[in-house]
Structure formats: C-alpha cells, structure tokens
Amino acid sequence: MAKKAPKQDKSSAPVALSTKDRKTLSSLRELAGSVVQYAERSRPPHFEVPSRSLSNVKYNQTRRIIEMGSGANRRELFNLGQAKSFMQTVLVGSKCKGLIEQGKTASIRQIFYLCKHTIKGTSENTFDEQEECDPIIEDVEVMLNTLREELHVFASNRGTMVGNITINDSGDTIDCSRMGSGGYSIPSIVEPDVIEFRECDAKFILHVEKDTVWRRFNEDKFWKEHNCILTHGGGQPPRGVRRLLSRLHNELKLPVYCLLDNDPWGYYIYSVLKQGSINLAYESARMAIPEARYLGLRSKDFQECELPDSVQIKLNEQDIKRAKQIAGYPWFEKKKTWQKEIEQMLKNGFKLEVESLISKDISYVTEEYVPQRLEDKDFLD
Amino acid sequence: MAKKAPKQDKSSAPVALSTKDRKTLSSLRELAGSVVQYAERSRPPHFEVPSRSLSNVKYNQTRRIIEMGSGANRRELFNLGQAKSFMQTVLVGSKCKGLIEQGKTASIRQIFYLCKHTIKGTSENTFDEQEECDPIIEDVEVMLNTLREELHVFASNRGTMVGNITINDSGDTIDCSRMGSGGYSIPSIVEPDVIEFRECDAKFILHVEKDTVWRRFNEDKFWKEHNCILTHGGGQPPRGVRRLLSRLHNELKLPVYCLLDNDPWGYYIYSVLKQGSINLAYESARMAIPEARYLGLRSKDFQECELPDSVQIKLNEQDIKRAKQIAGYPWFEKKKTWQKEIEQMLKNGFKLEVESLISKDISYVTEEYVPQRLEDKDFLD
C-alpha cells in the first residue's frame, strides 16, 4: 500500500460549516481556551464535568422529563488520579473538532481508534479499551451541553420509516410514501442540517417496537389508509430514532402513539421514549416526548380481545421485579392508570407480545386493534 | 374491542398471485394431496423430509457451494414418536398456504403464533416454544425445495443499500443514488415479484460488514466516485441481504467485493456469503456467491499499511480455535492463499478491525485502501 500519495487536496478542501457546527466548534474552542488561560495564569487547568451519577438525576414534574441536576465534578490536570482522564477529555474534544472541521462523522468505535495511541517515549496507551472512551465522549457532551450527534459522533443505526412525509436527507429528496417494502433506513444523525422536513400530510406517528410488526403495518398500507408515519426502532429505539420522533413531534406537531409488547420491556421502552433514560438524562430535553401515548398492548387485552390461552407467556421472577421497579418510577407512580395497568399484568401472571394478536387474524392488529383504539382514544398517557 | 365487525370484504378479496406464488401453492397442495392419497388407500400417511444434519451436507467442488446430500428421513403419522411433528408439519404448511392466498407475509415468530393453539378436548398445545416451530418451517422449505421467502415467511431485516441502481420495490421506484445519509433498508423478502431491478449503472458491489463502516463510505460518496453499489449486513448478513447480493451478482453480472474484519468472524462471514452456510445448506444454490472476493482486511495489512501497535487486538483462545476450524473448511483447505492468510493471522497473534484503518486518516479506507486494492486486483478468492 501507500503507493498512492494521500489526496491532500481532498482533506484540506474547505468544508461549508452549518450554523450548528460553528456553534459546537466555538464551544469546543472555548473549552480548550479555558485550559490555556489557566496555564497562562499559572493556575492548575481543570474542567467542571457535570455529574452523570444517579444521585444527580431527577424527574422534572413540570417539564415531565428526566433531567440532570446541577452536581458537577472537577477534573484536574495536576491530580494523579485525574490526569489521565483530563488528557483523554482533551483528546476526544480535539478529535471531535477535527471531524466537524472536515465535515465528517465517526462512530464511537471509530473515535476510540482515532484517539488510541501509545504515548511517545512510554508504553502507556491513551486508551486501552472502548469502555474507557465511551464515558469520556459522554463527558464532553454534557460539558458542552451538546448532543453527541452535534459532535459528529454517531451511534449504530437501526429503525425504519415510511409514511406520508417527504424529507430532505443530505440534499436528496426522499418521499417516504414511495419506499416499497423496505422503507427508509433512519440514520443515526438526524439533526436539522442533515434531515429537513419538507411536505407532511401525515396526522400522527405510529411507532411500533419491532421490524416484524412494522412489516405487517407497511404491507397492509396502514399509513396510507390512516394518513400517518410508521416507524420502528428494532426494540429499544436507538438515539437517531428517538431524536427523529422528537423532532417530528415538536416541529410538525404530530402526536406519537406507541405499540409495544405488554411486558416490562415494552413499558420501559415507552418510559424512555416519553421521559428519557436515566443513563442519558442530559439528552432528555432533546429526545424525550412527554406527550407520547401508550396505545398497547395492555394488560386488559387478553380478555378484551378474547385471545386464546396459548398466547400467554408466563412472567418470570425477573419480569416481576422489573415491573415493580417500573411501577415505582416517579412518572408512573402517581398515575392511577399506569398503576392499574402494571398491577393487572402482575395479577394476570403473564405477558403478551404484539404478535399474539395474530391468533385472531393475520391483520387483526392493523385492521381492528389499532384503528379501534385510536377511534376510542383508548390509550395510556 | 370487537365492536367493529371484521372487514370480511378485505380478507376475502381475491389476491393476484404471481407465477412463483402459484408454483409454491401447487407444491403445498401436492404435499397435502399425498397425505390424502395415502389415507384413501388405507396406507399410513408419511413425508420424506430431506435430512439437514451435518452428515448430509457436502461441499460441491464443481459448483463451489455447500449442498445437501440425498439423505432423507421418513416422518409418519402412525408413529408415536413422529405423530406430533407430522401434525406440526401439516399445520405450518397450511398456514403458509393461507399467507400466500391472502398475499400476506409473516415472521417466524408470527408463524409460531398462527400455529400455536391448544388442541380441542386436550391440554396439549400444537407448539409450546418457538424453538419447536423454527425447524418445522425449515423442514417445509426443504421438502418443497423452496425458499422460506417463497412461503411468505420473512426473517428480521437488517442491512442497507445505496448506489447507482434503481429498483422497483412493490410498485415504488427507488433510486438508490438519492437516498441521503440513511439509505434504502433492504427488506427480508427480495424475490423478483417484490424487487425488480430497473436501471443499473454500477459496475460492482462493495459489501462491508458493519453499518458504521458503511456510513463512512456513504458519507465520502465512494459509490458515486467508483460507480458501485454499497451494502452492509449488520455483521453476519441476514437472508434478505444475501439473497439480494446473489441476485444482483447473477442477474446483473456485478462482481461482489467484501470488506470485513481481519478475524475469524470476518472470515466466516465471507465463507457464508461465498459458499453458503452449513446450517442452511439447502439454500446455498440461491444465496451463495462462489465468485465473491475477499478484499480485506488481510493479515498482511498491519505491516503493509504501517498501522500503529495500538490497533492490535490480541487473539483469544476461542479465536485461535475458530481460525483453525475455518482453515480446515474444504473450500479454504486447498487454497494456498487462504492457508497463508489464516496462518499469518495466527502468527501475528492479533486481529484487526476495518475501523483500525482510521488511525491513518478518517477516510483512508475509502480514499486509499479500497481503491488501491481494487486497482491492484489485490484480493483473495
């Protein structure tokens, strides 16, 4: 290899930066500037890193999202226990700066490889494992009050969209009503400088848990008949899907209905979509959808839909423990409907998958269940 | 629920069947017909189920794919040990027949729910667990010499495509060169009655292992500069991706180049793409691509690309065991290049991920590595 000279012209070509990119760059420069300033004043350089520990996470009753508190930890260069993570923070920041300037993006794995090297004259690596690097990326996010995606770092993508909306993705116009059986693959970075919403006739969003259920709805052209957008997130939706749903909800005022399994995992997915996650509390404001509605499956459905015994899946100990935990979440704790829902599942002693509705008819879920629930406004909030 | 009368008109509307659907239906009817015939002649009904055991799998040197042998097992109704699986086979067959007639598709999970019920007057279920149902679906596939997808059964979808090709998916025209950063989500069923190839300017296919690497290539518009199609399969590619690659290769005569990690898992992914998998040997003829080429990463790359020590990932015992196993596969065993490749990895004592090339430059893989290898025709066969 290395026969071909590196295409210098390409990498040094000036990149058009978006307003958001310029803002993120300026935050990064400010951060680095503070280190220089401290050094010039002969004072020990340090950062204030907002604490991401559980004790610094709280539920904001008014905004109805999980938020970070004001707790922060100091990270100092001249502190033996903190010098390495100080260096790592600067390193990750500088690589993100480089990505933004080049107009490129990288996965967290790629950031790790970009940062990992043996420090000259030592046998010490900047990073040894990916696990060391991931929390540093999160530190930089919270320090700058920015989303990972704004630092040009992306997560794995998973999730698909179809429906009555036309978007522009990186200059290409994509009509999501003409995406065949496959659909538009939702990318990890869906910020306004990448994805712009153009025309949208859809009146709401139906978000389903799994791709297999999504396929049933797409095949039955549910979104056409009911004029909506249909998405899935391959289980717990990844950041890109959450952010896109949040943007569609906030910018286009589309209500979001969630069709998830009647089990603790389904409740948890709803909880994250609605209030944000405890681990990534600092992102809630830009990803959570407090108005999201839980359409089903519900604990009452076994009886109400007259399902056969054979579709019951017995709750195991882990399920019972998780269900009780979720019932104690502050945003579910004061809601009688949710307390009743979870209590009923525990009383049932079994869980139900969305797929179990197929025992009625292959298209029962698309032709009966969801339309009826929407008509009756029968969902949990 | 159940307030709304089932939309009988919808489900009973005649569905336009494709030629392939009619063929599959006729195979299913023939199978059922044989049971009836045996019964009418007062002879015990039975099926011949081609054996999917390892001993019935062999490598066809001429066709260069893994194939099933001619071994078969008899499955009898009047045999206490086989009566249940006989019933299950008929049940799965009849549900597939229903799907085809309705023009609908179902996941293997949905097939399980369609089939599972308590047998009247007993406490016995037709199926208790998904694990019982999956092999029966495979039995029906091999008995009818049909693909699962032709039975209207789909697997999870995973994998994305962009590039200089326009396809028709279920009546929608999809220009894969205008799919933004997200891409076209490759569905699970890609048979000709669903996906038709329209215009194709692309001269080859670059298949990469992971979505994160795919994103790098898409962002750098590699497929535009090199006039190709770019796909990934999210690790081990699912059936839909394998089948689509095979169709693109065979029908449009496009060479397939694979960019995978330099580790036993990467070798294995290549092996499955090229020769088929041992578990699903009966599908090789329609999914394997014996002409697929392994572009990299190669064991020589650490030296040749002058990578830093920090990107090495030490081989563990499991890796070493797997590497030796793979070196013994009959299709690798006689190839000196592959023996050398695997030997070199074992000698290196480490593996390399595609992402490690980023330590040279963020776009080294798209601007140097792959173009140079293609130009030099430097790949393994």
Q: DSSP readout, A224-284? A: HHTTEEEEE-SSS--HHHHHHHHHHHHHH---EEEE--BSHHHHHHHHHHHH--STTGGGH
Contacts of B7 in chain A (CB under 8 A): 367
Distances (CA, A) of A223 to A216, B10, B80, B106: 11, 16, 48, 18
Please determine, for the modelled complex, whether the ipTM score is greater than 0.95. Answer: no
User: What is residue B13's predicted lDDT score, i.e. its pLDDT?
Assistant: 59
pLDDT band at B282 (very low <50, low <70, confident <90, very high): confident
CB contact B299 to A (< 8 Å): no
SS3 state of residue A173: strand
Average pLDDT in chain B? 93
Partner residue facing A4 (CB), from B157, B178, B372 = B372
pLDDT band at B212 (very low <50, low <70, confident <90, very high): very high
Are B361 and A6 in contact, with CB atoms under 8 Å apart? Answer: yes
User: What is residue A13's predicted lDDT score, i.e. its pLDDT?
Assistant: 59
Number of neighbouring beta carbons within 10 Å of residue A325: 12
**Whole-number Å distance between alpha carbons of B35 and B27:** 13
Contacts of A106 in chain B (CB under 8 A): 216, 358, 362
A residues 194..233 contacting B (CB < 8 A): 194-195, 211-212, 215-216, 219-220
Distances (CA, A) of A11 to A6, A14, A292: 9, 8, 43
Rounded to an integer, the average pLDDT of B39-68 is: 91
pLDDT tens, position by position, B171-191: 999 999 999 999 999 999 999
Pairs of residues, one from chain A and one from chain B, whose beta carbons lie less than 8 Å apart:
220
pLDDT tens, position by position, B238-266: 999 999 999 999 999 999 999 999 999 99
Q: DSSP readout, A67-135? A: EE-S-EEEEETT-TTTHHHHHHHHHHHHHHHHHHHHT--EEHHHHHHHH--BPTTSS-BS-SSHHHHHH
For an interface test with A, the pick among B310, B311, B363, B379 (most A C-beta atoms closer than 10 Å) comes out as B310
pLDDT band at B1 (very low <50, low <70, confident <90, very high): very low
Amino acid letter for position A38: Y
User: What is residue A4's predicted lDDT score, i.e. its pLDDT?
Assistant: 47
- Tokens at residue A29, please? 């420069």
Alpha-helical regions (H) of chain B: 8-12, 19-40, 83-102, 108-115, 130-144, 211-219, 222-225, 239-252, 264-275, 284-287, 301-304, 317-327, 330-333, 336-348, 364, 370-375
Are B179 and B205 in contact, with CB atoms under 8 Å apart? Answer: no
pLDDT along chain A (381 residues), means of 10: 46 75 96 94 94 89 91 94 96 96 94 93 92 94 92 88 97 96 93 95 97 94 98 93 97 98 97 90 90 96 95 96 94 94 97 95 96 97 90
Regarding beta strands A65-68 and B256-259, do their DSSP bridges make them parallel or antiparallel, or are they unpaired?
A: unpaired
User: What is residue B307's predicted lDDT score, i.e. its pLDDT?
Assistant: 95
Regarding beta strands B46-50 and B72-76, do their DSSP bridges make them parallel or antiparallel, or are they unpaired?
A: antiparallel
The yes-or-no verdict on residue B2 having pLDDT over 50 is no
- Tokens at residue B180, please? 């933004």
The yes-or-no verdict on residue B22 having pLDDT over 90 is yes
Domains annotated on chain B, with CATH:
19-154 (1.10.10.10), 160-375 (3.40.1360.10)
Cβ-defined contact of B188 to A215 (cutoff 8 Å): yes
Regarding beta strands B165-169 and A204-208, do their DSSP bridges make them parallel or antiparallel, or are they unpaired?
A: unpaired
Residue A226: CB partners within 8 Å, gap ≥ 6? A204, A206, A371, A374
Helix-helix angle A19-40:A130-144, to 10 degrees? 100
**Shortest CA distance to A144 belongs to which of A23, A11, A229?**
A23
Strand partners of residue B105: none
Amino acid letter for position B291: E
The yes-or-no verdict on residue B10 having pLDDT over 80 is no
Rounded to an integer, the average pLDDT of B347-374 is: 96
**Whole-number Å distance between alpha carbons of B300 and B378:** 12
Rounded to an integer, the average pLDDT of B78-97 is: 96
Regarding beta strands B165-169 and B195-200, do their DSSP bridges make them parallel or antiparallel, or are they unpaired?
A: antiparallel
pLDDT tens, position by position, B217-244: 999 999 999 999 999 999 999 999 999 9
Cβ-defined contact of A174 to B171 (cutoff 8 Å): no
SS3 state of residue B238: coil
Give chain B's count of helices (H) and strands (E): 16, 17
pLDDT tens, position by position, B290-325: 999 999 899 999 999 999 999 999 999 999 999 999
CB contact B130 to A (< 8 Å): no
B residues 315..354 contacting A (CB < 8 A): 353
Give chain A's count of helices (H) and strands (E): 16, 17
